[in-house]
Structure 1
């Protein structure tokens, strides 16, 4: 008849006999401890005590009555020399140091003494999941009927929780974003959820070189953009599928982040007016969409505006217009270039190359203008063609 586990727990000799039996099976100590807990109970003995007796028996000592009170007090990690603690923290990557910070205040202070530099932080939040990636380590928290399920890197078993998936995920993500001296080469935030509190995700300014922000509306994008530290920010990539009121979208132009960045990509479903280009004068590189009601005027107006940008190295523009005829012809005539003629192979588009010398400069702007797309919409009364004219522009030395 098997002996009750409760009787074994109350008898120290029997507990040590069970440990000695695990030693005789010559299994790894962690496997032995799991088997010991399965048979006797998880609360029978803490792992440090099990480890002491396991290795004592392993090395041939069979004294069950050994008095451990005469042993010196066991050392903890806090008894290690400070120099060694700094060396341990220095050998960890930024993601590993985020976990080190949660141990205690002393180790947290040591971990925070190192600059927290990430190659990339990528966050995506939707109506049913929160995903984030720290360098190459990916975390995911999914909503389910009973709460949420959390997946962590290097963990074979998922963590189940009754908490909201955003609240649970932020237990791991928020401490990273609060790290002092946090620096990120590329920071990406994709918000697929209509309502979201920016302060929950970006409690402090993020020092990022390059940033990509996707938001469901302009107000979301502006709030998250404003959480970026403008002094270090070099490149901004904003994606807003629904603009709404243009005046609210133009609030982006007034942010310090927009004014101090060197390059910009604005992606929207609704293009800018040509007059809005003046807001891009400080960029070295930028990309955006434009709309035009008068091609002949706006082509030359665009060229003149770009030629006044002293820092401009290159840009990409897309004109969104509707014509009854061929738009590339109007561009060619406006710029005084030859009109492309002749048959085109399937998938090819007519292209114009135009050079314009910048006034009072030894440089010129070289434009490559291509008829990008041609979509037709049928109507009962008329058929209208919508064209997308792609501009690429770069500053090059002027050649006579």
Structure 2
């Protein structure tokens, strides 16, 4: 069977906010044309998978028949061959070596770092102060991932460099991935800033690794786990850069949108506050509290549904039969978490913010592949539990002390790169307990 063609050509290249908004609307509507729709990314044909059933097949059941797609190839020269970008036997080996870094005992230790960093952020606010919340939470995400990675003195310099450079690398890197090859060679300020930021980050990470080699001591951080597992300096560098770029954006955005939605929905905010007060009773949150913060996690899951990545790309290693459609070897296949998360067949009234969707009985009825905020299968984000814990711990820590109130008459607009960013998120910090 031949996949139907999408109406018109998809303008894959270019990245103005208006164009990207149109792309979201376009991709979210493709399910109306079938489970697989053939597109053209500029001159390149691709197959867009629109159903949870086939998304699950691409990412999980037929996962070994695919490798990462063209967008990921374009990132390799910048951040190396880390876990997000590598393929095949090398990817499987690296994932096994990294798995101990995300063991339950390690996650419990990271949870204390998360709580402390979130507490320090709350301590820095003053009653009635208008905070640039998106910037605050970006800084928090860098602090948490950076401190989990590096526990040495020189590691603090790496965290400082990450605060300076990592968001520039993420956003400019996505622009490069969506643009023709010649664009990265243009002598424009964005390219120059990106190249300089990459060189600075590589340099400081290499310095941290060399410093660690002089002692070879397990500091209880992620870098120690990588190096003690036998990775070369180059492999460890690539994995650190990957963890920094992949481990910061999702959590910072999820936290920003969580507090935005709490500010918009007084009933949801009240339930979050009531649950936090009941579970914590005025004491700091611990990792053992997370299973009891059930409504907070429902809110977080709904945020992850509403504001996910735009798309994942895979390339077929051989001819693949997807739902009766023959996909040739070497073809690009697209799965869009955003489109799947806004499919009314899985999520009725998908534009409505409704944490009740994640009550256990309702969530259990979702088809496999309908909700993939961290991907799925053997390429699922290795740090997904780290990220979920970070978001819930931060929300509980902040909500125990503060309400964050939107500014009247200041609508929050969305800008798009690989995911939805708030253009700015000013909110007033109001103490819950005077």
Give the helix-richer structure, 1 or 2.
Answer: 2
Question: Which protein has the larger Cα radius of gyration, Structure 1 or Structure 2?
Answer: 1
The answer, yes or no, to whether TM exceeds 0.5 is: no
Which protein is richer in strand relative to its size?
1
TM-score by length of 2: 0.21
Higher RCO (CA 8 Å, separation ≥ 6 residues): 2
